[in-house]
Structure 1
Amino acid sequence: MDAKPTYQGIDLDAETALALLAWQAELGVDEPILDSPLDRFELAPRARALTPPPSPAAPPPRRPAPQDDLAARVAEAEALAAAADTLEALATAQQGFDGIELKKGARNFCFSDGNPKARVMILGEAPGDEEDRQGRPFVGRAGQFLDRMFAAIGLARDAVDAEKALYITNVLTWRPPGNRDPEQAEIALALPFVRRHVELAAPDLIVLMGNISCQAALGRRGILRLRGTWVQAFDRPALPMTHPAYLLRTPAAKREAWADLLSIAARLEGDAT
């Protein structure tokens, strides 16, 4: 038999209990209260004890360190360069390589210009604004001066005869923003392609135009100290020279550049005899 409801110790029938409940609702009662006070702070630790502790969160996936990421991208560049067996294949591989961020901001890919059978290969630094527009290295004001410089010793980029021709490329094939100097990581990513470029073109000698070219080929900077002295780069004779842009800014340095051009002409003549 069900127990009867009580109110303040008085037994109530069902009809009276419902009437009291309706009366309390009319008065605005919205929460039931026990006969004795309940310390809810005392219940909180017990409630927390019944709640299972959260499972430890899985550690976030490890992101590769910057140096690890660079090493992986350099390895990819090396594999792509090694697989290219022609200059056309190398250009396609290098243009498709997405591991260098410069590609995202440049307008055009600047691979090379001139006669790839030339005895002389000029290795410049990076495309400038005009080179980026045309997709060819050394076509701006400095490039026009370079053409005049080498014309003085009988060499030209448009010459069909390999004995009189020039072949021109840069360390970087994508323009750095604002024509800034290339970063060390960017040079490292370009170097596998540069090495393979030299192997496939197989020039008799290389002209290292400017500091960045010397840094990439020799691991050294200081073009004013290096210029005029023959060195070995990529297993070939190489001559560091001041960049035509520097010569345009510093006309007094043109005398030394002329001496370097005569040294190139003598080297070519000596190798030919």
Structure 2
Amino acid sequence: MNKVIYEDDFDLSEINSLEELQNMAGNCARCGLRGGCSGVVFGEGNPEARLMLIGEGPGADEDRLGRPFVGKAGQLLDKILAAVGLERFKHVFIANVVKCRPPGNRAPRPNEAESCLPWLYRQIELISPRIIVLLGGTALQNLVEPDARITIMRGKWLVSKSGIKIMPTYHPAALLRDTSKKRPVWEDFQKVRDEYLKL
């Protein structure tokens, strides 16, 4: 029987493969989200990708299929990637701030994100991307600054302490609600592509 992961025994530093990390994540019970979803949506893509995309959390389609960004927003994201010459499974690894679907597709609460972020941090360490694209305000606020605003920060390069270049941009779901955001995101991904080609 698999061991359930709770707060008091949570140390991922000894995990040295994405496969092992994914297996462990499937048994996580650090917040209440796991009880209300079908399963953990760990992430997918090239485990050696130099580019990582980080969104908010799984939606209904993602929860049902166990894969990130497979609904309408994900289909739009695939088109954006293709338009700049990048392929989802070749050039990219995609993950989310939380790995379980919040009820009604709401944004994850701060305590839920805090409980789940160690999984994401270890993913980042194991993948070692050179560029991270933060898709939307939730990713920006949880990985950069709690008070950051995507409307102000999008399109501006940031650099992590470990030297990873970070580009915040709008979440693809925001583009479906407001088509005026499509052009800024297109411009942001062109910058990402140009930086990627320098690697």
TM-score (norm 1): 0.68
**AA aligned opposite 1:229:** K
Shift of 1:234: 6.5
Shift of 1:270: 2.3
Does the alignment pair 1:268 with 2:192?
Answer: no
2:156 aligned residue: 229
Write the distance in 2 (CA, Å) between the matches of 1:234 and 1:156. Answer: 28
Structure 1 residue runs of 4+, over 4 Å off? none
2:39 aligned residue: 108
Write the distance in 2 (CA, Å) between the matches of 1:195 and 1:88. Answer: 15
Shift of 1:247: 0.8
Segment drifting more, 214-223 vs 191-200: 214-223
Question: What's the CA shift string for 1:124-157, capped at 9, x where partnerless?
Answer: 1100000000000000000000000010111111
Match of 2:143 among 217, 222, 228: 217
1:158 aligned counterpart, secondary structure: helix
CA contact (8 A) 2:25 2:40 kept: no
Question: What's the CA shift string for 1:151-204, capped at 9, x where partnerless?
Answer: 011111133xxxxx1111111110000111101101111111111110001111
2:171 aligned residue: 243
CA contact (8 A) 1:210 1:223 kept: yes
RMSD: 1.4
1:175 aligned counterpart, secondary structure: coil
1:207 aligned residue: 133
Unmatched runs of 5 consecutive residues or more in structure 1: 1-71, 160-164
Structure 1 residues 174-193: aligned runs within 5 Å: 174-193=100-119
**AA aligned opposite 1:166:** V
Q: What is the number of residues matched between the two proteins?
A: 192
Does the alignment pair 1:134 with 2:65?
Answer: yes
Question: What's the CA shift string for 1:246-271, capped at 9, x where partnerless?
Answer: 01111111111111011001111223
Write the distance in 2 (CA, Å) between the matches of 1:128 and 1:110. Answer: 10
Larger RCO (alpha carbons 8 Å, 6+ apart): 2
CA contact (8 A) 1:127 1:170 kept: yes
TM-score (norm 2): 0.92
Structure 1 residues 139-150: aligned runs within 5 Å: 139-150=70-81
Give identity over the alignment, percent: 38
2:3 aligned residue: none
1:238 aligned counterpart, secondary structure: strand
Unmatched runs of 5 consecutive residues or more in structure 2: 1-5
CA contact (8 A) 1:217 1:233 kept: no
Match of 2:98 among 145, 168, 172: 172
1:92 aligned residue: 23
Structure with higher Rg: it is: 1
Write the distance in 1 (CA, Å) between the matches of 2:179 and 2:102. Answer: 26
Write the distance in 1 (CA, Å) between the matches of 2:135 and 2:62. Answer: 16
